[in-house]
Amino acid sequence: MVNAAYFQYGQKFNKISILGGLRYEYTTVEIDQFTSVFKDIKNYGNLFPTVNIGIETKEGENVTIGYNRRIRRPRGRFLNPFQSLSSATNIFRGNVDLNPVFTDAFDIGYLKRWEKFTLSTSAYYNVSKDNWEFIIQNTGKETENGNEAIYERFPVNLSTSERIGFEFTLTFKPFKFWNINSDFNIFHVSTDGDYTNPDTNLTTNFDFKNTSYFVRLNQKISLPGKTDIQINSNYSGPSENRQSKNKGIFSMDFAASKEILKEKATINFNISDFFNSRKRMSTTLIPGFTEQYSEFQWRERQISVSFIYRFNQTKIDKKKKGGQEFNGLEEFEG
């Protein structure tokens, strides 16, 4: 249960604008196992300030400076102490003592507008304390055939994590019918912390440094005949930490929409994960034991076609009344 109250205040002085806010949260977490006497209740209250300063250096150009404090709460799966079997050799269990992660975030940004370009850049620094780390250890048990060891994975509040990065966003309209929006983010993460297994007294060091990036490219093309096409491409660069290495992931979504019957109807065609490449491929390093390679795909490529007919109403009428089209093309936007 999360209860909160907040207030905001903003003021502008010539070309300088200030927006500040303060949020207070009081959280209660109760875990009750009805089949035993186990019961755990945690209460904690926290303040979350926010300060943003904007400076308009000239028309169409401004600089921003900001700070805010954030919270990331553990989901129910991370708190559930009962084991879940993801495969014959891998077990996941939650941790009832897991606490939220608090992050202090600082950033400085620059925005510039031209006739066909909008450029936005930001340099940021985040520091998180009691960061979650997922411990992987050998249970000492084997599968039924006795050929493979069984490993257990669980989260703990362990490390301090620092992230420093740079983000570059560009909006470009080369022609009236073609909109391009791209984003590039590169960041360096450093983590430090140690975990000691209470059963074996084996200590694992989580000190690690890694640099990674991700790229996003969205394009919307308006063709003659009331036809729109949108292509969204994403690439997350390879990353690693002390216990795992993840390969890069590329994915692309495609959508097309055409108005027919004097704009009373719409045909939508969508392909989600065009190349069927949205897969998480990782190698897990288990200290003193072995390496495990795994692939995970949440959903394979999907192709869908839909037909929408608006009775006594055209798409233009719907927009004038403030309605929103939830066809496949619009869903990709934003």
**Is 327 found in the same domain as 180?**
no
Q: Would you say residue 298 lies in a domain?
A: yes
Between 100 and 33, name the one with better pLDDT: 100
**Is 155 found in the same domain as 44?**
yes
Q: How many other CB atoms are there within 10 angstroms of residue 327's CB atom?
A: 19
Least confident of 12-21, 108-117, 240-249, 310-319: 310-319
Q: What is the pLDDT of residue 62?
A: 93
Q: How far is CA 106 from CA 128, 137, 159, 255, in A?
A: 12, 36, 20, 37
**Is 247 found in the same domain as 202?**
no
**Is 270 found in the same domain as 180?**
no
pLDDT tens column, 179-206: 999 999 999 999 998 888 777 777 878 8
* The pair of three-digit structure tokens given for residue 208, joined into one six-digit string: 């690690």
| Cα torsion through 28, 33, 34, 38, rounded to 10 | -90
Task: Tell me which of 178, 206, 234 is where a domain ends.
Answer: 206
Task: Tell me which of 151, 177, 206 is where a domain ends.
Answer: 206
pLDDT tens column, 140-175: 788 877 677 788 889 999 899 999 999 999 999 999
**Is 262 found in the same domain as 170?**
no
**Is 199 found in the same domain as 87?**
yes
Q: What is the pLDDT of residue 140?
A: 77
CA distance 246 to 295: 10
Domains held by the chain: number: 2
Q: Would you say residue 11 lies in a domain?
A: yes
Task: Tell me which of 159, 185, 206 is where a domain ends.
Answer: 206
Domain of 7, in residue numbers: 2-206
Asked whether 180 and 171 are in contact (CB, 8 A), the reply is yes
**Is 283 found in the same domain as 163?**
no
* The pair of three-digit structure tokens given for residue 259, joined into one six-digit string: 């108005």
**Is 161 found in the same domain as 29?**
yes
DSSP 146: S
**Is 193 found in the same domain as 263?**
no
- Which domain CATH number covers 93? 2.40.170.20
Q: Which residue has the tokens 């076609």?
A: 305
Asked whether 8 and 19 are in contact (CB, 8 A), the reply is yes
pLDDT tens column, 45-90: 999 999 999 999 888 899 999 999 999 999 888 988 888 776 777 8
Asked whether 71 and 26 are in contact (CB, 8 A), the reply is no
